[in-house]
Structure 1
Amino acid sequence: MEGDEDREALLPGATDRPKMAAICDPSRLAHRIVVLILMCFLGFGSYFCYDNPAALQTQVQLDMKVNTASFMQLYAFYSWPNVVLCFFGGFLIDRVFGIRWGTIIFSLFVCAGQVIFAAGALFNAYWLMETGRLVFGIGGESLAVAQNTYAVSWFKGKELNLVFGLQLSMARVGSTVNMNIMGLVYSRIKDLMGSAGYTTLGVTLMIGGITCLFSLACALVLGYLDKRAEKILNKEQGKTGEVIKLTDVKDFSLSLWLIFMVCVCYYVAVFPFIGLGKVFFIEKFNFSPLQAGAINSVVYIISAPLSPLFGFMVDRIGKNIIWVMCAVVATLCAHMMLAFTFWNPWIAMSLLGVSYSLLACALWPMVAFVVPEHQLGTAYGFMQSIQNLGLAIIAIVSGIILDTSGYLFLEVFFSACICVAIIAVVMLYFVNLVRGGDLNLSSWERAKLLKQAAIEAEKDRLRRESVDWNRIRPMSAFAVRVRYLSRLGAKLPDHLTSYQSALSHRSVLK
């Protein structure tokens, strides 16, 4: 492509490099497409294996002889390490490991965690399965940070939003494939072994771990290509750009805390529900395991194509708080339908998928509107931290509710969480309105404010750099002569004494 040739010509040392095939040249589109494919598959294994418990809920509970509360511990143990690692994952990538080694190390944690998880099933040791999920969680979230860092490093500029959208879509594909095939894999292994049991479960989970090995291979190849590009293009390693200072927390505004509340109360009603959803659809709607897995993955299927579209729409229209309100209310309607009606659940799950995609596109960018740029790393790290804390706690609570009271009370509990999120959104709307914030501005109003801010910043810069030329006017020839004679110690007339004093004073203030 002509644009690639122009870009190549502008790179440092481009004229000194030997000609190479487009697919081998890091500055060419063909090579960057290969890198993009590797980036997309880098997180495939992590997202595929994250919801292995949800895809095999019945099998895990029967084969390991655990109740729902213990089953949901598998999700809680994934979230616990990320309460802390959200603050330090970026630091480890930037300052300790580097992007290449950091990606490989976190991929190894994901692989090791899945192997330990599967081994726990093979040896009928549930505590070992929980340990495996803990190790898996250490690598999972930090691997996503590394994936985004690679994207910024290779596709900085107008391509970046598209790349982020493709990575998110591939992550949702991994979750969807898991929901739809792990049950079939378990059935096939059971037929081969002649019976179900913890050994069958362990073998099934080991087979699922092949996706993690595939992602590790992508990390190794990607690290090699990035190192090669560094030598050829003289480019630096990617940086996360995160600057996290926990002391910034005391400066967070009320609007930001309300955004945190919306985030936690919303997501705890989505992810734990998906973790328990397969059995819910089997028991309430008499679906087969295959049908239940398919409908439980609808949220991920819908979010894959809609997330980039909703992101584009919110960018063009603005009014973030209104979109968040629409998403939260739609999610409440979806849970109410699932709880109190026997309508076709595809309607409610499709609505949940649309609202989930819309909220993610409207909520997370709002942090940048209420936090100074130097505090963004801390704000996003804290937001992810309390999100994981909420998910860990609610996963345990939802399991206990299901064991003691059933799915109806569980749906009422999730609806109550969504109601708290609605209250937080309403409070956020009025706080933003009273304080004159820009969270609910239209896109053209926000662009106008940004333009005015840029003009004011430029005026302020010019004002600081301006010089009072009246104070540094060049001295006349007579003044220069008087100053020269005074320094030589010559006797000056009395009427020049005050003038000499003024010159001496000015010489101190240089």
Structure 2
Amino acid sequence: MGKDAGYSRWKVLASTSCALVGAYYIYDLPAATNKPLESWLKVDPAEYQYALSFMYTIYSIPNIILPFICGFAMDRIGTTAIFVILLALVAIGQFCFAIGVNLKSLSIMYLGRFLLGIGAESAGVAQSRITSNWFGSKDLALALGINLSTARFGSVLNDIMSPLAATWVSVPFAAWVGFVVAVASFVGSLYVLVPQRSNSVRTEIAGADDGDASLIPLVTGEGDLTRGNTLEDLQPFLTDDVPVEGSRTFLGKILSFPLMFWQLCIILVAFYGAVLPFNTIHAAFLQVRYFPNDPQTASQVMSIPDLLSAILVPLSGAVVDYTGGRITVLVLCGASMGIVHFLLGVGLLSTPIFALIVLGVAYSFLITTWACIPLIVEEKQLATAFGLATSIMNASQALFPMMVAGVAVAVVMYRIDREGLLCRVGSKLTV
């Protein structure tokens, strides 16, 4: 690989990694400012629980189909310009949200979250597509891990800074800080527009033509998928028997995906069904159960999973890249997350810190699921595959927050574990 090619791909990785920091920061801003935001809006507690959950539901609604459509468009017309436009939409969405907070208008806040959802999720698809295009299979999970790790620092900053800004200054100030972070991320993304020799660089990095690029092992010791399998070996459904014309159509691309891809989508729904709804209520949960009237301590403790995952994701990606065992990792992640959610839900722990540490480690290996997609889907279909997986995940996420709100209203002290069941289902599915 040429020196310029090596430098270029790491510069592009730095740009795409920083680009989603803002989206991650503002995604959980309502949850991080949970109690102060409730006091600021001065709405009924039951109404507020549904309003808070709807901020996440309306974020997910456009992404039931949009990332899939954007992924298909990226495969056909290119990714970088769409990537930057989507990140601009993220900043515009947060601008509307901040205006809504200032005016205490839930409608304007919902509009901002809707625009944020349109931009952020599809930008994540574009980020994965760009990264996959620049990195060969040997370093792909590491590169995707760096992407996620950097973005998760946005979540960590939000967990720490937003409650402090809301408490020390005001809730509107915390919302405007989120807007500044989103604009900074947008500016950082502009480097991807610089003309790059992406096609030739990717060929050098991969070390072979697309037709005989080797794939990383998904599991070891069981003989299912091993190093040296080619794309054709791993995709019996994508052979010369499939009509070429059909594979080029919108529906043809979907039907050409192997069974393993759909299994991964089910795992994503189960895992993120455990992670994201918990993030919606964990600030209030920690304050009610462990840190009454101490939102600052609660905000510091709730940042533990995001902080650990931000640090460990590149390492976990590198480990999986070179050792394989992805299926085993997914089973362990599901089992550990299920146990932790159960212990938190039934109140058997005197402190949540150890449980949150386990969650942080498990979160860091969730990238394994996404890193499997380029191994089982053709390179020319990657954006469509990432988009479809994101769409399926968001379809579930449009429902889960409202389910959590109903439970939160009915069971004020959160005495049952809303997400533990989904997490345990995830561990079973991975088996």
Q: State the TM-score bracket (shorter-chain normalisation).
A: 0.7 to 0.9
1:345-364 paired onto structure 2 within 5 Å: 345-361=352-368, 363-364=369-370
SS, match of residue 270 in structure 1: helix
Structure 2 length as normaliser, TM-score? 0.78
Aligned equivalents of 1:37, 1:390: Cα separation in 2: 31
Answer yes or no: is 1:212 the counterpart of 2:182: yes
Aligned residues: 383
Aligned equivalents of 2:383, 2:82: Cα separation in 1: 18
TM superposition shift of 1:298: 1.4
Report if the CA contact (8 A) 2:71-2:384 is conserved.
Answer: no
Answer yes or no: is 1:56 the counterpart of 2:63: no
**Which has the larger Rg?**
1
Aligned equivalents of 2:328, 2:132: Cα separation in 1: 30
- Which residue of structure 1 lines up, in the alignment, with residue 324 of structure 2? 318
TM superposition shift of 1:237: 12
TM superposition shift of 1:92: 3.6
Q: Tell me: CA distance 1:134–1:422, structure 2 relative to 1, closer, same or farther (3 Å).
A: same
Answer yes or no: is 1:180 the counterpart of 2:131: no
Answer yes or no: is 1:112 the counterpart of 2:92: yes
Q: Select the residue among 397, 400, 405 that pairs with 2:411.
A: 405
TM superposition shift of 1:36: 4.4
**CA root-mean-square deviation:** 3.2
Q: Which structure carries more relative contact order (alpha carbon 8 Å, separation 6+)?
A: 2
Amino acid at match of 2:108: L
TM superposition shift of 1:112: 0.7
Question: For residues 408-435 of structure 1, what are the alpha-carbon distances to aligned partners after superposition, in whole Å with 9 as ceiling and x for unaligned?
Answer: 3551x32222232233234xxxxxxxxx
Report if the CA contact (8 A) 1:398-1:410 is conserved.
Answer: no
Amino acid at match of 1:342: L
Q: Tell me: CA distance 1:122–1:260, structure 2 relative to 1, closer, same or farther (3 Å).
A: same
Q: Select the residue among 415, 418, 421 that pairs with 1:416.
A: 421
Report if the CA contact (8 A) 1:244-1:375 is conserved.
Answer: no
TM superposition shift of 1:253: 6.2
Q: Tell me: CA distance 1:181–1:374, structure 2 relative to 1, closer, same or farther (3 Å).
A: closer
Aligned equivalents of 2:381, 2:80: Cα separation in 1: 26
Aligned equivalents of 2:5, 2:384: Cα separation in 1: 34
Structure 1 length as normaliser, TM-score? 0.67
Q: Tell me: CA distance 1:307–1:234, structure 2 relative to 1, closer, same or farther (3 Å).
A: closer
Report if the CA contact (8 A) 1:169-1:304 is conserved.
Answer: yes
> What is the identity percentage for the equivalent residue pairs of Structure 1 and Structure 2?
28
Amino acid at match of 1:43: L
Q: Tell me: CA distance 1:42–1:382, structure 2 relative to 1, closer, same or farther (3 Å).
A: closer
Unaligned stretches of 5+ residues in structure 2: 204-209, 211-246
TM superposition shift of 1:77: 1.1
Aligned equivalents of 1:370, 1:237: Cα separation in 2: 18
Q: Tell me: CA distance 1:216–1:367, structure 2 relative to 1, closer, same or farther (3 Å).
A: closer
1:5-20 paired onto structure 2 within 5 Å: 7=2
Aligned equivalents of 1:245, 1:47: Cα separation in 2: 30
1:243-262 paired onto structure 2 within 5 Å: 245-247=250-252, 249=254, 256-262=261-267
- Which residue of structure 2 lines up, in the alignment, with residue 197 of structure 1? none
Aligned equivalents of 1:131, 1:48: Cα separation in 2: 18
Q: Tell me: CA distance 1:410–1:367, structure 2 relative to 1, closer, same or farther (3 Å).
A: farther
Q: Tell me: CA distance 1:101–1:419, structure 2 relative to 1, closer, same or farther (3 Å).
A: closer
TM superposition shift of 1:369: 6.2
Amino acid at match of 1:262: I
TM superposition shift of 1:115: 0.5
Aligned equivalents of 1:234, 1:352: Cα separation in 2: 38
Question: For residues 222-246 of structure 1, what are the alpha-carbon distances to aligned partners after superposition, in whole Å with 9 as ceiling and x for unaligned?
Answer: 42xx13x56xx997999xx997833
Report if the CA contact (8 A) 2:100-2:106 is conserved.
Answer: yes
Aligned equivalents of 2:23, 2:358: Cα separation in 1: 26
Amino acid at match of 1:351: V
